[in-house]
């Protein structure tokens, strides 16, 4: 097996998903969680929402190194477009083999929890660190979280919950144990090793990687998967985790999907009954830009109706053609449609509504 790192396996996984229809830099933007219309659309259309914004440290150089290594080992073939590649059968087998040993965390949901995971972790780790020091009569310590918003939240929390700190600490311990016991030993270890208390500083991803002899990037994904799992489990079963629920209850709901500010403004005009050309004129933007916003809105809001833009008959025709051709490339789909009046915008809308199922 030529794959030497989780990053390489992840790269080939993306290449397989994109199927030559996007450049390698689309992978860069997806892992970064770029809130652009194109990247948000790609997350849905290619079925990679769970990986959206899950590895912000990724660099372009890392992707280019993955390309070189994959071509060298005959796992990639170039297309006629610059920086567009297809996975060979060998590459597919190698990627699946590696990911069968180091699978993507089942609870990973970058699209749903990208914004909340860091806030949840910041609050929780500083809260537990504070409790640990208070219980041990250590009133002065260096806070593990320097973010002012996180620090202020923890201060307010203690003001609003004037309970016995030892009892509070025990309650958090009990709830965390119940949560962690449902996960694998390696996932539990990664999470616990990250925690900071009065007598220990939480380990870095590199330190955990060296101690556990696990790929450092994979450690990051295991940890992130744990955070996503915990937020979901705490929210769904809030009665079982009252103390932990207090940490997440004011976070935006999972249904509040990423949406660019410009698209949000367009949505307000559409909801007010304005037509696309009217919105474009009011906002002094091109109609194509407003169409981009509509596609983004469809992806973010499953209940947003597209019937005013495309008929059900046309929608069915587009879906059948896309499935038959096994592609999301607009031009290829359009050229195969019997109805020549169907626009690229309508095709994009239908694919957006279908998400990763087209």
Is the per-residue pLDDT at 1 higher than 80? no
What distance in Å separates the CA atoms of residue 242 and residue 175, rounded to the nearest whole number?
Answer: 8
Instruction: Answer whether 70's CB lies under 8 Å from 8's CB.
Output: yes
341-353 burial code (b ≥16 CB/10 A, e <16):
ebeebbbbbbbbb
Residue indicated by tokens 């596609």? 295
Task: State the average pLDDT for the chain.
Answer: 92
179-214 burial code (b ≥16 CB/10 A, e <16):
bbeebeeebbbbbebbbbbeeeebbebeebbeebeb
Q: What is the pLDDT of residue 321?
A: 92
In sequence order, what are the residues at sequence separation of 6 or more whose Cβ sits closer than 8 angstroms to the Cβ of residue 151?
Answer: 126, 143, 145
Is the per-residue pLDDT at 2 higher than 90? no
Q: What is the pLDDT of residue 248?
A: 96
Q: What is the pLDDT of residue 340?
A: 86
The three-state secondary structure class of 310 is: coil
What distance in Å separates the CA atoms of residue 284 and residue 282, rounded to the nearest whole number?
Answer: 6
Calculate Rg over the CA atoms of the chain. 24
**Which structure tokens are listed for 278?**
């009217």
pTM: 0.85
**Domains of the chain and CATH, by start:** 6-101 (1.10.10.10), 110-248 (no CATH), 262-357 (1.10.10)
Number of DSSP helices (H) and strands (E) in the chain, helices first: 18, 2
Least confident of 27-31, 237-241, 261-265: 261-265
Partnered with residue 296 across adjacent β-strands are: none
Q: What is the pLDDT of residue 254?
A: 62
The closest alpha carbon to 223, from 188, 175, 178, 174, belongs to 188
The string of pLDDT tens digits covering residues 41-99 is 889 889 899 999 999 999 999 999 999 999 999 999 999 999 999 999 999 999 999 99
The string of pLDDT tens digits covering residues 158-193 is 999 888 999 999 999 999 999 999 999 999 999 999
Stretch (H or E) spanning 151: helix 148-160
Q: What is the pLDDT of residue 353?
A: 87
The string of pLDDT tens digits covering residues 287-332 is 999 999 999 898 888 889 999 999 999 999 999 998 898 888 888 8
Query: pLDDT exceeding 90 applies to what percent of the chain?
Result: 75
Please state, as a whole number, how many other Cβ atoms lie within 10 Å of the Cβ of residue 285. Answer: 15
């Amino acid at each position: 097996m030529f794959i030497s790192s989780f990053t390489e396996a992840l790269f080939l996984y993306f290449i397989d998903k994109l199927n030559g229809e996007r450049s390698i830099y689309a992978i860069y933007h997806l892992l970064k969680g770029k809130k652009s219309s194109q990247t948000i659309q790609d997350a849905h259309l290619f079925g990679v929402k769970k990986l959206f914004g899950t590895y912000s440290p990724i660099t372009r150089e890392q992707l280019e190194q993955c390309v070189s290594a994959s071509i060298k080992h005959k796992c990639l073939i170039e297309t006629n477009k610059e920086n567009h590649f297809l996975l060979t059968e060998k590459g597919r087998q190698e990627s699946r083999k590696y990911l069968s040993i180091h699978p993507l965390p089942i609870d990973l949901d970058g699209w749903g929890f990208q914004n909340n995971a860091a806030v949840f972790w910041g609050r929780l780790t500083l809260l537990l660190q504070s409790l640990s020091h208070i219980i041990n009569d250590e009133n002065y310590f260096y806070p593990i979280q320097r973010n002012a918003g996180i620090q202020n939240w923890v201060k307010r929390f203690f003001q609003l919950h004037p309970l016995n700190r030892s009892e509070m600490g025990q309650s958090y311990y009990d709830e965390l144990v119940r949560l962690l016991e449902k996960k694998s030993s390696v996932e539990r270890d990664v999470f616990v090793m990250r925690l900071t208390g009065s007598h220990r500083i939480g380990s870095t991803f590199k330190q955990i990687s060296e101690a556990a002899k696990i790929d450092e990037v994979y450690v990051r994904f295991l940890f992130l998967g744990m955070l996503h799992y915990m937020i979901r489990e705490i929210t769904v079963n809030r009665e079982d985790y009252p103390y932990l629920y207090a940490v997440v209850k004011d976070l935006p709901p999972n249904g509040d999907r990423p949406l660019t500010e410009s698209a949000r403004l367009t949505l307000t005009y559409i909801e007010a009954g304005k037509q696309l050309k009217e919105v474009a004129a009011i906002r002094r933007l091109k109609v194509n830009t407003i169409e981009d916003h509509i596609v983004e809105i469809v992806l973010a809001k499953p209940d947003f109706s597209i019937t005013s833009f495309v008929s059900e008959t046309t929608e069915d025709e587009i879906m059948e053609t896309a499935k038959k051709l096994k592609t999301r490339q607009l031009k290829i789909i359009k050229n195969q449609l019997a109805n020549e009046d169907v626009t690229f915008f309508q095709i994009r809308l239908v694919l957006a509504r279908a998400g990763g199922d087209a």
